[in-house]
Structure 1
Amino acid sequence: MGTSISAEVDYEQRGKHSGFLRVPHSVHRSAYGWLPIPVTCINNGDGPTLVIMAGIHGDEYEGQVAVSNLARTLIAEEIRGRLILLPMVNAPAVEAGLRTSPIDQGNLNRLFPGNPNGTPSEMIAHYVEEVLMPLADYSVDLHSGGSSLFYPPTLLRGQGANAEEAKALIGLQDAFDLPYAWVFTSGGGRESSARTAMGAANRKGVINVMAELGGGGEVTPSILRRTERGLRRILHSLGMLPDYVPDATLGTRELNAKGSVYAYHPGLFEPLKSIGDDVDIGEVVGLVHHPETPLSEPDEITSPYAGMILCKRAMAPVVRGDAVFQVASDSADAKAGGK
């Protein structure tokens, strides 16, 4: 089924070109209107195609800035192959500074494979999966903890459908060279049913990684620099930026996620652990305070997992069901003496 979205950029044209994806949006104030999704294509002939996306969630900022900087500073003569850059895939959410679209409440990373005749968010998901991913050999999807969470720079990847894909994924991980890598232990491959951009890439046979890069509703300069360094290292590793000279590898700690820790009472969250701290099962990792009843003792939050703190809630107010930490542990491969 064809897309409802039209592109102002010709992906086959040589050189550097920027424009918009036009998402049809007929409303009272604009009967034949469209929503603009910015896209830049840098095409310099033979070589792989890499799609780099950010802004699938509108309140995740480091990736948006990093992709915009690449679009602005790279020139076609530097590139071998084709680079497609989308700094704000869910533009309505980005413009509102929200995780989800204010137009249709769509969480874009839960809507793939989308619908070409659906809501704007569903149309965007369909375009990414059915138009962009078939063009790509590789893709990188940049996220952060958004307004509510904070992650250290962390790459996320699957294990690959075969030995060749596994090697390529490890190559992207080594090139990005972030402090942590969250390795999925299941799912992925051509039969993936995931409603995410990673699932879309897997279904189309695209070698892909995702990253969580800071959060808390702000841009962290050190994480932004680490992100931009990593993207250029990836381009170089794929032979797409041959004149770039990467610096020494810093190393990545591979992890498997254990699960999230949740608040069970409304109030103000006080974390007792920081990112990178070790935690045991049953350990008190946070308190929920009740300033409306100042004589009440705070409620304790205990961890159901042993491991290390990978992400932490960035907002103090909580209600029952809010995630306050994510716990991970060293991957099985790392424990066995692998990477």
Structure 2
Amino acid sequence: MLLTSKRYDVDDIMAAQEFYHGRGWTDGLPVVPPTAAAVEACLEWAGMTPEQLVGIEPVRERAISAEKLAINAVMAGCLPMHFPVVVAAFTAMLQEPFLLHGATASTGGCAVLIVVNGPIRGELGMNGTFNALASSDRASTAIGRAIRLILCNLLDARPGDVDRSTLGHPGKISYCVAEDEENSPWLPLSVEKGIPAEASAVTVMAAGAPRQLMNEWTTEPERILDTFVAEIRANMRHYSIYAGNYAIVVPPQLRAHFAAAGWSKADVRRYVFENARIRRKEWADCGKGAVVGSRGEQEYAGLASEDSLLVIAAGGPAGGFGAVIPPWFGGKSNAVTMAIGACFDCEA
């Protein structure tokens, strides 16, 4: 296997850390030195050649090779078996609906949320239960971090360079969750998006920070969802009024109430779509009265359609908690789902 990336000799692993930090090739955390053997192992696992074209960044027309993705995956701590997920996630991000450049360059400071579905979750030991949106397991953390390093090192999405985030949020380090399919009565997210149940897949979304909520005082699906809706409405008041992809994360304690009432994900999406709405005049309640104008009674929906809501089953077994993950900026960027191992552009 012929790797073409430039190679550097350093004295030891500590020298490697300083070498990479000094060149801005990290996210501030230590990296795994991307030796030729480690990079080749990732490529071999995914059945890819070093020069294979993964895709072309659409704004600056940068060609992204499999070798470059593998280097950054190794740096992030990925094992070879993690690499196909990284490839699928980044390929999905390159698709036009995602608007990669806008999402990564905006002052809005979003991060790339990655949702993993299918058998690969078990193969990689991914855990969609305890601490699901944080350091739940090795694979989730490393895969999410690999995407961040790829953005920094291959597309210059470093703070103050292409990345112009005013604040950002911790998801910029790693933002990857495996759906808890085994403990859920619902269809997996990927199946809802048209991927066969036996296949593994990723969904990527340009996302704000998760907004945690709690409702332990009812078993009625409508009242539980009213809490999620209130959080979406709050985001529409405080951040962006425009419709886009929202994701909600529903742990087992709340899922049990939906299951008892016979509610599917489609039922959840329908209720949220119908109720997550505000009138423009509500902006006056949070310091934005200057932009209300004569359109105070105009209604805005949080979702462009029922299908705009991503319903994710994840979280620990106890606690009436949940989370709303807002979109970067309305419908500027749309979530994309892609099968892992799919050949998107074989001829290239």
Q: TM-score, normalised by structure 2?
A: 0.32
Q: More strand per residue: 1 or 2?
A: 1
* Higher relative contact order (CA closer than 8 Å, sequence separation 6+): 2
Q: TM-score, normalised by structure 1?
A: 0.33
